[in-house]
Amino acid sequence: MLRSALAGVIILTAAAAPALAAKRRAPSVTRFDGIWSVEVITESGTCDRAYRYGVIIRDGQARYAGGSDFIITGRVQPNGAVRGSISRGDASAHVVGRLADGWGNGTWVTSGSTRCGGRWNAERRG
């Protein structure tokens, strides 16, 4: 009985080992998951001088932490590369940059009738 139970454990361990090794090797975006405070600073154009957004990242996907005022969509790659957009009504800004452990930065530019651009800085809050 003990011998067959031990053989079963060995077989299960051997079967699970490749999956566990692959999981350890696969880069994870979850290190960026959490609540981030993002400051958006206008450097060109007639947009307001600065904005601050709460952003939630879960499984590498970004979304606005507030109500329905803004729509924030985007993705954080395992290496920290960020691509996304911030929109409200018909106004939209394209965002690119990079996150690191607890901070991040990048640039943004609007599309549409109002042309603005600038930089953004992010700080992990939770």
**pLDDT one-digit tens code per residue, 91-126:** 899 999 999 999 999 999 999 888 999 999 999 998
Whether residue 11 is contained in a domain is answered as no
- The pLDDT score that the predictor gives to residue 114 is 87
Quote the tokens at residue 59: 């499984």
Looking at per-residue pLDDT, the higher value among 116 and 89 belongs to 116
CB 42 within 8 A of CB 118: yes
Whether residue 5 is contained in a domain is answered as no
Residues near 62 by Cβ (< 8 Å), separated by ≥ 6?
Answer: 55, 56, 72, 73, 74, 75, 76, 82, 84
Side chain identity at 21, as an amino acid letter? A
Whether residue 39 is contained in a domain is answered as yes
What pTM was estimated for this model as a whole? 0.73
Whether residue 64 is contained in a domain is answered as yes
Whether residue 4 is contained in a domain is answered as no
Whether residue 59 is contained in a domain is answered as yes
- The pLDDT score that the predictor gives to residue 112 is 82
Say how far apart CA 49 and CA 76 lie, in whole Å: 26
Site of tokens 């609540």: 35
Check which CATH number belongs to the domain holding 34 and give it: 2.40.128.120
Share of the chain above pLDDT 70, in %: 77
What's the number of domains the chain is made of?
1
Whether residue 46 is contained in a domain is answered as yes
Q: Tell me: pLDDT of 3 over 50.
A: no
What is the domain range of residue 47? 29-124
Whether residue 45 is contained in a domain is answered as yes
Residues near 14 by Cβ (< 8 Å), separated by ≥ 6?
Answer: none
